[in-house]
Amino acid sequence: MSLSQSFEDELVALLPRLRRFAHGLSRSPSDADDLTQMTIERALRARAQWQPGTRLDSWLYKIMRNLWIDTVRSRNRQDRVEAPAQESETLGHDPRDEIEAAIDLHRAMAAMDRLPGEQREVVALILIEGFGYREAAELLDLPIGTVSSRLVRGRTALLRLMGE
């Protein structure tokens, strides 16, 4: 398998994780899709800058985070939330389990939405994506103590918000 093929295979395997992180940053399904697509496009254009043997996921998360920062700055307005139109997909079956799961997910995402951006980033990377503290600190270019502090505050706030 060629180096190029290996890069593309790893990139495809990381798509679900990238999409989740994009949603954690943007809090909008359509913005998350756009952000994921822009990240993949930029990664493919900058493929030569990635060092084989290093973590592709960290490199992609850094690209995504920088793109999101650029997007927020260019919009120069508050975040917005768009609800997806998925009602037609649930016709003809008992939706109770899906409704309960959707309610739980909605509560969790609403709680995430209420976190400050710096806490939301750290919570998404460590609790959702499974990065270690050191990896998250490197990715966000922050001291590990800052990452730890933001995670503790974010986790505490999430627990409080989920209990409301």
Kindly give the confidence (pLDDT) of every residue in the chain, 164 residues in length, as a single tens digit, with 9 standing for 90 and above.
Answer: 455 668 888 999 999 999 999 998 988 899 999 999 999 999 999 998 988 888 999 999 999 999 998 888 887 554 444 444 455 555 566 667 777 877 877 887 888 889 898 999 998 899 888 899 999 999 999 999 999 999 999 999 988 988 86
Spell out the alpha helix ranges (H) of 46-85.
Answer: 56-75
Backbone angles phi, psi at 116, to 5 degrees: -60, 150
Host H or E run for residue 44:
helix 29-45
What pLDDT, on the 0 to 100 scale, is given for residue 4? 61
CATH 3.90.79.10 fits 1-79, yes or no: no
**Which residue's entry shows tokens 């990065």?**
131
pLDDT score, position 76: 58
Query: What is the CATH topology of the domain spanning 95-164?
Result: Arc Repressor Mutant, subunit A (1.10.10)
CATH 1.10.1740.10 domain locations along the chain = 1-79
Can you give the pLDDT at residue 13?
93
pLDDT of amino acid 82? 41
Using alpha carbons only, how large is the chain's radius of gyration in Å? Answer: 17
Q: What six digits make up the tokens of 76?
A: 């120069």
Residues 11 and 5: their CA atoms lie apart, in Å, by 10
Tell me how far apart the alpha carbons of residues 17 and 129 are, in angstroms, rounded to a whole number: 7
Shortest CA distance to 72 belongs to which of 37, 34, 110? 34
d(C-alpha 78, C-alpha 112), whole Å: 16
- What's the pLDDT at 93? 64
Task: Note the pTM of the prediction, 2 decimals.
Answer: 0.56
Q: In angstroms, how far is the first alpha carbon of the chain from the final one?
A: 52
